[in-house]
């Protein structure tokens, strides 16, 4: 099923919602909205689960958890609550006008942080952007979007992140038709880059001395993708226009050559800190012993160790694409197969012909 916009358009959120509505009509599945699952537990002495919801109690033979990787916005406990500054998560950011007057510190330079900081800077705010480790793919290269490049280079299907890169965020922008995140350009436009926000004492923030290595790492990531793309073009004889300017970076701005190590929030007039620091999982509703010590589900390709309980949509469930709208279908197909296989075992009847006999 295709989206209305098609091509390489950046699809509006309302169109995505319409798309899902059309999909539910097509598969004719009941999709009750506004129903929260409060507790899922195993049935005693027989297979299946009992689940308590805001609309009643039900039983099911299988449960597929698709509650997503973005359940609880995470704000690290760095700035004490009593500090005279408003702290919000990027999930609650709406527009520059909705924030109190004053400068803004945006913590986190993934796609959310970098685009929010850019928007605030354009709106005339004084903005500090706290930059941690990140990947920085080119939005487009040689006429193709990076989503296409990740596809042909096999990166959506990577089975596991490179060692030590489990939680590295991607900084890329969909603004103005799509742009490569360019920290130096943002700084030349007036924004101040700082290292990772480490601590806060008496209203004074301290930044890690890692701004330069973090920017360098993002640059290296961008250049390596360009190298791989060029090699792919050559190896496959593609006729895509060369783009040497993609390798040219602006000069290092002053905030990179003389990075701030600390910031007195009130002296700098900072009225808001926006934490673009990601999300955590929340399985409080799952009363089944299937989580590891860190609260993450134990599973093999979406199949948990408890019969009948499955997951879809988790980061790196089977590949990089697993937690993206684009890419989840591999896991959906696998989990649906596993459910069918298990129900065939359940209806097993040796006399009548073995596995699958009940369906004939």
Ligand X SMILES: Cc1cc2nc3c(=O)[nH]c(=O)nc-3n(C[C@H](O)[C@H](O)[C@H](O)COP(=O)(O)OP(=O)(O)OC[C@H]3O[C@@H](n4cnc5c(N)ncnc54)[C@H](O)[C@@H]3O)c2cc1C
Chain residues binding ligand X by CB under 6 A are 36-37, 66-68, 70-71, 112, 285, 313, 323-326
Position closest to ligand X via CB: 68
Smallest gap, in angstroms, from Cβ of residue 311 to ligand X?
10
Smallest gap, in angstroms, from Cβ of residue 248 to ligand X?
27
Smallest gap, in angstroms, from Cβ of residue 230 to ligand X?
25
Residue with tokens 């929010």: 116
Residue 37 or residue 339: which is nearer to ligand X going by CB?
37
Smallest gap, in angstroms, from Cβ of residue 297 to ligand X?
13
Smallest gap, in angstroms, from Cβ of residue 338 to ligand X?
18
In what helix (H) or strand (E) does residue 184 lie, and over which residues does it extend? Answer: helix 183-188
Tell me the helix, strand and coil percentages in the chain, rounded to 5. Answer: 30, 20, 50
Distances (CA, A) of 338 to 203, 292, 300, 345: 54, 22, 11, 11
Residue 60 or residue 231: which is nearer to ligand X going by CB?
60
Closest by CA to 135, choosing from 118, 111, 163, is 111
Closest by CA to 174, choosing from 16, 329, 2, 1, is 16
Residue 36 or residue 245: which is nearer to ligand X going by CB?
36
C-alpha 105/C-alpha 99 separation (Å) is: 12
In the three-class reduction of DSSP (H, G, I as helix; E, B as strand; rest coil), residue 323 is classed as helix
First to last CA, the chain: 31
Distances (CA, A) of 79 to 32, 75, 207, 210, 283: 40, 10, 12, 19, 27
Smallest gap, in angstroms, from Cβ of residue 223 to ligand X?
23
Smallest gap, in angstroms, from Cβ of residue 303 to ligand X?
17
C-alpha 60/C-alpha 309 separation (Å) is: 10
Smallest gap, in angstroms, from Cβ of residue 39 to ligand X?
9
Residue 15 or residue 199: which is nearer to ligand X going by CB?
15
Closest by CA to 263, choosing from 193, 216, 213, 215, is 193
DSSP 96: G
Residue 326 or residue 329: which is nearer to ligand X going by CB?
326
Residue 73 or residue 102: which is nearer to ligand X going by CB?
73
Residue 195 or residue 327: which is nearer to ligand X going by CB?
327
Residue 325 or residue 355: which is nearer to ligand X going by CB?
325
Query: How would you classify residue 224: left for phi > 0, otherwise alpha for psi between -120 and 50, otherwise beta?
Result: alpha
In the three-class reduction of DSSP (H, G, I as helix; E, B as strand; rest coil), residue 226 is classed as helix
C-alpha 233/C-alpha 273 separation (Å) is: 43
Smallest gap, in angstroms, from Cβ of residue 245 to ligand X?
25
Residue 85 or residue 117: which is nearer to ligand X going by CB?
117
Question: Residue 109 — φ and ψ, nearest 5°?
Answer: -120, 40
């Amino acid at each position: 099923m295709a989206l209305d916009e098609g091509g390489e358009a950046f699809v509006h959120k309302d169109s995505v919602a319409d798309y899902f509505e059309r999909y539910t009509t097509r598969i004719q599945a009941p999709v009750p909205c506004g129903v929260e699952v409060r507790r899922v537990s195993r049935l005693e002495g027989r297979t299946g689960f009992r689940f308590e919801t805001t609309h009643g109690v039900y039983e099911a033979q299988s449960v597929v958890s698709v509650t997503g990787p973005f359940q609880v916005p995470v704000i690290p406990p760095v700035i004490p609550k009593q500090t005279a500054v408003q702290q919000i998560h990027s999930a609650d950011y709406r527009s520059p006008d909705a924030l109190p007057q004053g400068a803004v510190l945006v913590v986190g330079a993934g796609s959310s942080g970098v685009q929010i900081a850019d928007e605030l800077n354009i709106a005339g705010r004084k903005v500090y952007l706290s930059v941690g480790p990140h990947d920085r793919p080119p939005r487009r290269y040689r006429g193709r979007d990076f989503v296409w490049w990740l596809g042909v280079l096999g990166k959506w299907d990577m089975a596991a992140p490179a060692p030590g890169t489990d939680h590295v965020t991607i900084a890329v922008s969909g603004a103005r038709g799509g742009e490569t995140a360019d920290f130096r350009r943002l700084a030349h436009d007036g924004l101040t880059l700082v290292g990772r926000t480490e601590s806060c004492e008496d209203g004074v923030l301290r930044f890690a001395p890692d701004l330069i290595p973090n920017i360098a790492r993002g640059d290296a990531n961008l250049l390596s993708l360009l190298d791989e793309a060029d090699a792919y073009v050559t190896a496959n004889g593609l006729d895509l226009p060369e783009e040497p300017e993609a390798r040219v970076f602006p000069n290092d701005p002053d905030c990179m050559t003389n990075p701030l190590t600390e910031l007195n929030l009130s002296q700098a007039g900072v009225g808001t800190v926006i934490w673009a620091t990601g999300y955590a999982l929340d399985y409080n509703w799952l009363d089944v012993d299937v989580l590891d010590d860190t609260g993450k589900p134990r599973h093999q390709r979406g199949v948990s160790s408890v019969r009948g309980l499955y997951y879809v949509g988790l980061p790196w469930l089977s590949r990089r694409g697993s937690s993206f709208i684009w890419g989840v279908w591999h896991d959906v197909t696998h989990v649906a197969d596993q459910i069918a296989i298990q129900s065939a075992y359940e209806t097993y009847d040796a006399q009548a012909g073995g596995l699958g006999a009940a369906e004939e």
